[in-house]
């Protein structure tokens, strides 16, 4: 074999090697790209889907499904696929831990949304041990401000929202107030917040803690009428609809007030219409980003063939989910750090400033609470409908 022939063969081998190297580089790049796009993150939600306060569980669950559906349909190839798994806690603290463990053991969730304040507190040790980020999309209060660093609250502060009721009572010049209060943390804090303001204004008040499941208040209403209250505050759930009806049947004409849960359809049904005229603190598209909020409600109705029975829980949950999705979509950035997923997401959440959501422009403080959601005073006008009294 002559020298020229050997040189030609050598060049062919070099070219072939270069081509093979190029193909290998391309395959590695493709693998790396696909490995990022094939990333899957599982998220859990625990809320009341049965028994009580279902307006605080079902609409938020559907709003989160809507947000996730929109994300997965429009995400880029390098962004992770995200799945949502849902469990029912029946609005009780006792069901929170079993629900969380099921989500963690069966789906290895990295983020947990949970509506109930008591349930949020119950899972604190578990989520810290497991390195799970928790978001309460409905409640924010002084108790939740004591949670660990993995916990965020995308909601209006309970004490501030329900203080609106006390301010209204003072404005109307009412002098003797009865609170019927459900025995959980949320309603207890709502009552305490209102009571503190009434104390400062020298308004007489009485707080009665009702038993869970009570529906018969007839005898009590006879006594309350004798005591001469000119305002009744119903800080509880659908069972207090019976109390409203029984109060009117007893001849009580006092002004009624309530909390953020009055639009539960069973509240109206149990009251047989006595709920009409009740004033409450609430949040609607009028209080948030009106254009985005109405678009969200339209999309919600298109997806589920109904409007949310209670709009503020759905709006807050939609914003909370989208806010988290906006952070997780940048998951590829974690490759340039030495952070765990938990540390990375927690740091990103704390840097959120002026996220434009359906509830308004939101920001997250260093302690995990949010700002930018402002409730107003509303009056129950007809079944399922409120009219704004004032902001």
- What is the widest separation between alpha-carbon atoms in the chain? 121
Read off the pLDDT of each residue in 296-313 and give the average, rounded to a whole number.
96
Full-model pTM:
0.84
Average pLDDT, the chain: 90
The predicted pLDDT at position 239 comes to 96
**Predicted local confidence at residue 336, as pLDDT:** 86
Q: Is the pLDDT of residue 182 over 70?
A: yes
For residue 265, give the 3-state DSSP assignment: helix
pLDDT at 2: 54
pLDDT of 33? 44
190-225 pLDDT, tens per residue?
A: 999 999 999 999 999 999 999 999 999 999 999 999
**Is 391's pLDDT higher than 70?**
no
Q: Rounded to whole angstroms, how far apart are CA atoms 263 and 384?
A: 6
Write the Ramachandran bin of 31: left for phi over 0, alpha for psi from -120 to 50, otherwise beta: alpha
List phi, psi (to 5°) of 203. -95, 130
263: which residues sit within 8 A by CB, 6+ positions away? 55, 282, 309, 310, 311, 384, 386
pLDDT (0 to 100) of residue 185: 87
- pLDDT given for residue 390 in this prediction: 75
pLDDT, position 141? 77
Q: Which residue has the tokens 């099921």?
A: 102
Give the C-alpha separation, 389 to 278, whole Å. 11
pLDDT single digits (tens) 61-78: 999 999 999 999 999 999
Segment holding 177, helix H or strand E: strand 176-181
Task: Give me the pLDDT at residue 155, please.
Answer: 87
Confidence class for position 145, pLDDT limits 50, 70, 90: confident
pLDDT above 90 (res 43): yes
Residue-level pLDDT at 29 = 45
Select from 243, 245, 246, 275 the least CA-distant residue to 261. 275
**In this model, does residue 323 exceed pLDDT 90?**
yes
| Alpha carbons 273 and 259: distance in angstroms, whole number | 17
The burial of 119, by beta-carbon neighbours within 10 Å (0-12 exposed, 13-18 middle, 19 or more buried), is given as: buried
- Residue 94 CB contacts under 8 Å (≥ 6 apart), including other chains: none
User: What are the tens digits of pLDDT across the range 251-301?
Assistant: 999 999 999 999 999 999 999 999 999 999 999 999 999 999 999 999 999
Give per-residue pLDDT as tens, 14-34.
555 545 545 444 444 444 444
Contact 94, 36 (CB under 8 A): no
Residues with Cβ within 8 Å of 24's Cβ and at least 6 positions away in sequence, in order, are: none
Residue 67 CA to residue 319 CA, distance in Å, equals: 8
User: Would you say how long the chain is, in residues?
Assistant: 391
Report how far Cα 144 is from the mean position of its chain's Cα atoms: 13
In the prediction, which pLDDT does 34 show?
42
Residue-level pLDDT at 123? 96
Instruction: Check residue 211 and report its DSSP letter.
Output: P
């Amino acid at each position: 074999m002559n020298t020229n022939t050997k040189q030609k063969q050598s060049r062919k081998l070099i070219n072939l090697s270069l081509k093979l190297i190029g193909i290998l580089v391309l395959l590695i790049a493709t693998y790396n790209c696909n490995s990022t796009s094939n990333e899957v993150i599982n998220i859990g939600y625990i809320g009341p889907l049965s028994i009580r306060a279902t307006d605080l569980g079902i609409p938020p669950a559907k709003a989160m499904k809507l947000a996730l559906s929109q994300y997965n349909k429009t995400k880029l190839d390098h962004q992770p696929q995200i799945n949502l798994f849902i469990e029912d806690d029946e609005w009780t603290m006792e069901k929170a831990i079993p629900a969380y463990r099921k989500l963690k053991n069966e789906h290895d969730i990295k983020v947990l949304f949970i509506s109930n304040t008591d349930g949020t507190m119950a899972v604190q040790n578990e989520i810290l041990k497991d390195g799970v980020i928790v978001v309460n999309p409905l409640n924010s209060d002084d108790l939740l401000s004591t949670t660990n660093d993995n916990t965020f609250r995308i909601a209006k502060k309970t004490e501030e929202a329900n203080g609106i009721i006390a301010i209204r009572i003072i404005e109307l010049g009412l002098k003797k107030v009865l609170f019927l209060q459900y025995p959980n943390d949320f309603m207890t804090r709502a009552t305490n917040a209102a009571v503190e303001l009434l104390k400062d204004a020298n308004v007489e008040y009485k707080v009665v803690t009702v038993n869970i499941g009570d529906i018969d208040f007839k005898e009590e209403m006879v006594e309350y009428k004798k005591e001469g209250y000119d305002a009744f505050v119903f800080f509880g759930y659908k069972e207090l609809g019976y109390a409203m009806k029984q109060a009117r049947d007893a001849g009580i004409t006092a002004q009624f007030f309530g909390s953020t849960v009055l639009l539960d359809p069973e509240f109206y049904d149990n009251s047989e219409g006595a709920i009409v005229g009740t004033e409450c603190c609430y949040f609607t598209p009028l209080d948030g980003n009106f254009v985005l909020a109405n678009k969200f409600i339209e999309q919600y109705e298109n997806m589920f063939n109904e409007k949310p029975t209670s709009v503020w829980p759905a709006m807050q949950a939609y914003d909370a989910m989208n806010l988290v999705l906006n952070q997780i979509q940048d998951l590829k950035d974690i490759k340039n750090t030495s952070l765990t997923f938990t540390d990375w997401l927690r740091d990103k959440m704390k840097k959120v400033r002026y996220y434009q959501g359906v509830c308004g422009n939101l920001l997250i403080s260093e302690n995990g609470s949010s700002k930018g959601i402002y409730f107003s005073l509303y009056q129950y006008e007809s079944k399922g409908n409120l009219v704004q009294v004032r902001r």
